[in-house]
Amino acid sequence: MNKIIRLKDLGTKDYKETWEYQEELFKEVVDLKIKNRREETNLETPNYFLFVEHPHVYTLGKSGDLSNLLLSEKQLESKGATFYKINRGGDITYHGPGQIVGYPIIDLENFFADIHKYLRFLEEAVILTLQEYGIVCGRSEGETGVWLGEGTPFARKICAMGVRASRWVTMHGFALNVNADLGYFDNIIPCGIRGKAVTSLNVELGVEKVDEEEVKEKILKHFSKLFEATFEKSEIVNQQSKI
């Protein structure tokens, strides 16, 4: 089993371009698994982890409700935002500057074949990271992601998650609000959940800006421990894609 994960930070990148890149990497891993099964080979499958920050964009999961987007096409344009229906789970969410987005594209059979455990480990990596900043947070029963004040009238979500998996290969991932402009969440019903707010790490800490590179390092530290994985920095350049 290959527990090395190739890490790539894409910086600021258009959502659709990044989604297409994810699909290429995802297909590469899935195709290799199909080849192994058909030809009875045992070629090692790669694992990838992408960090990215997107320009303002709203995305709707395959089971989401379009009515949870509260903007018209013209209003989207006026806010400098785009909108996509995509193939992950979950409802509607927002991505934008000041948000750390992580896309693990990994073969779970290199680690454990359990999608529920995978989602809980993604949440745990974020929870442990936030705890290093003194943030008390956790899960909300029946709702994926990381929450503050759950069980109180002040419940608020700080990290959204939505994934896709096929043949135990994952894509999409999590979005952690670090220095996010929370006003953009007013234009949607986040994750289709009414009556609960959204927050950002800088707001909770009462500071203007949190060091996002430091947050990324902490996420990777906890992710690697939970998955018993090793990260290696990579340009991840293949024949189809050069991002």
Binding-site residues sit at 88-95, 160-162, 173-175
Contacts of 206 (CB under 8 A, 6+ apart): none
Please, are residues 110 and 182 in contact by the beta-carbon 8 Å criterion? no
Name the token pair of 223: 């992710």
Using CA atoms, how far residue 181 sits from 37, 56, 106, 136, 208, in Å, is 47, 10, 30, 21, 11
Binding residues for substrate: 88-95, 160-162, 173-175
The DSSP 8-state label assigned to residue 182 in this structure reads G
Of 18, 37, 208, 50, the C-alpha closest to 109 is 37
**Annotation says 191 is catalytic:** yes
Q: What distance in Å separates the CA atoms of residue 124 and residue 39, rounded to the nearest whole number?
A: 37
- The one catalytic residue among 101, 159, 191, 220: 191
Q: What distance in Å separates the CA atoms of residue 167 and residue 74, rounded to the nearest whole number?
A: 40
Q: What distance in Å separates the CA atoms of residue 141 and residue 211, rounded to the nearest whole number?
A: 30
Q: Which residues are catalytic?
A: 191
